[in-house]
Amino acid sequence: MTESRLSQVDNLKLTMPALGIDLGGTKIRAAAVLNNKLVSDPQEVPTPSGAENIVNAILGLIEKFQAKHVLAGVGIATAGIIDGDTGEVVGSTGNLPGWTGTPIRTAIESRTLLPVHVENDANAAAFGEASARNLRHLNSVCVVTLGTGIGGGLIIDGKLFRGAHFGAGEVGHSRISLGNKRLCTCGLFDCWEAYGSGRGMVATAREILVGLNADQTPLVALGSNLTTRNIVAAAAKGDIVAQRAISMWHEHVAVGIVNLAHILDPSVFVLTGGMAECVDFALIHEMVVDRCMSRIGENMRIEKSELHGVAGIIGAAELVLDAILERAS
């Protein structure tokens, strides 16, 4: 392709929005994205059951946006392991039963004639963070989603790193302890997720509560209803047991970051997800620097996401624009 044709295609990124779609277990959200920013209000529909119904719901959303925008392409972020080359779901999660084996890219491209890119949702969110924060020029960026579980994505030399089996970035399932103490949702024991996630904070608090009574901490009375919200609220009121649980949770979050830092030596970590709200960033930075080899830890940044739940939409849209450029070159 000639250089002028390439720059024309490059211009697409600046002039035509792409549709970013975030397909979750309960809802499908979509918005038009231009230059890493939403240029329309997000629209959402409930996620129907069955692969064919999901594809039809996605097609319905695309049609709605096409009525208002000329779209350059469609990026779709979904749970499951995605073959980034074919856009097929090669491994799914319990949230979307029957989704494995669905050739989403072909199904949507053949019906809309728009370029489509499909990506794992954690990868798409990581790419959205790196794009929107203008971090793609850096050597490497590691995005960690701290929520009920722990997910992640790696951006190396400005590109999403997918791994040999499209499974890279499953940072939550690196093992941080021995002894089979905590079972993880993945079926393995002692994963980082079992300690550093919201579920991990609650499990840590429960361990501390063993043998304590209601006079020592209000958390005892909550029994099986104990949540991260209760722990954070009790800590803010000065409950030392809750404060201990939060302090240990920071240790657990830090150890996973330290392990990643020694493998990747990234320029920046971005922490996102609901539990990132519970992170004391000054404390976590101090802990990580303290536990890292000095050359790695000293200049590494640890930042908080500011995208408020639209990282997947932005990332999916940016990925299809990149895919259009790649296919044209």
5-13, 15-23, 181-189, 245-253 -> range binding Zn ion (CB under 5 A)? 181-189
Enumerate residues 157-176 that contact Zn ion by CB under 5 A: 173
Size of the site for Zn ion (CB under 5 A): 5
Mask for 76-105, x = binds Zn ion (CB under 5 A): ------------------------------
The H or E element spanning position 56 is helix 51-66
CB of 186 to Zn ion, least distance (A): 3
CB of 227 to Zn ion, least distance (A): 21
Which member of 184, 209, 302, 320 binds Zn ion (CB under 5 A)? Answer: 184
Comparing C-alpha atoms, which of 171, 72, 63 is closest to residue 120? 171
Mask for 190-229, x = binds Zn ion (CB under 5 A): -x--------------------------------------
SS3 247: helix
Rounded to whole angstroms, the Cα distance separating 287 from 153 reads 22
For the stretch 213-220, contacts whose Cβ atoms lie closer than 8 Å and that sit 24 or more positions apart, written own/partner, are 216/241, 217/241, 217/242
Comparing C-alpha atoms, which of 193, 176, 195 is closest to residue 249? 195
**Sole residue written with tokens 């030596």:** 265
Which residue lies nearer to Zn ion by CB, 135 or 191?
A: 191
Comparing C-alpha atoms, which of 292, 260, 275, 251 is closest to residue 168? 260
Which residue lies nearer to Zn ion by CB, 116 or 191?
A: 191
Give the amino acid at 233.
A
9-17, 80-88, 184-192, 297-305 -> range binding Zn ion (CB under 5 A)? 184-192
Rounded to whole angstroms, the Cα distance separating 126 from 142 reads 8
CB of 200 to Zn ion, least distance (A): 11
Rounded to whole angstroms, the Cα distance separating 90 from 192 reads 25
Q: Is 183 near Zn ion (CB under 5 A)?
A: no
The answer to whether residues 83 and 285 touch, using CB atoms and an 8 Å cutoff, is no
Size of the chain, expressed as the number of residues it contains = 329
Which member of 1, 39, 183, 188 binds Zn ion (CB under 5 A)? Answer: 188
Task: Please give the C-alpha separations between residue 157 and each of 130, 169, 282, 305, in angstroms, as whole numbers.
Answer: 11, 15, 27, 20
CB of 309 to Zn ion, least distance (A): 24
Which member of 1, 39, 183, 186 binds Zn ion (CB under 5 A)? Answer: 186
The H or E element spanning position 6 is helix 3-15
CB of 191 to Zn ion, least distance (A): 3
Which residue lies nearer to Zn ion by CB, 192 or 249?
A: 192
CB of 193 to Zn ion, least distance (A): 5
SS3 70: coil
Rounded to whole angstroms, the Cα distance separating 104 from 90 reads 11
DSSP code at position 88: E
CB of 245 to Zn ion, least distance (A): 21
Which residue lies nearer to Zn ion by CB, 29 or 173?
A: 173
CB of 293 to Zn ion, least distance (A): 26
Which residue lies nearer to Zn ion by CB, 172 or 315?
A: 172
Which residue lies nearer to Zn ion by CB, 65 or 195?
A: 195
Binding residues for Zn ion, rule: CB under 5 A, are 173, 184, 186, 188, 191
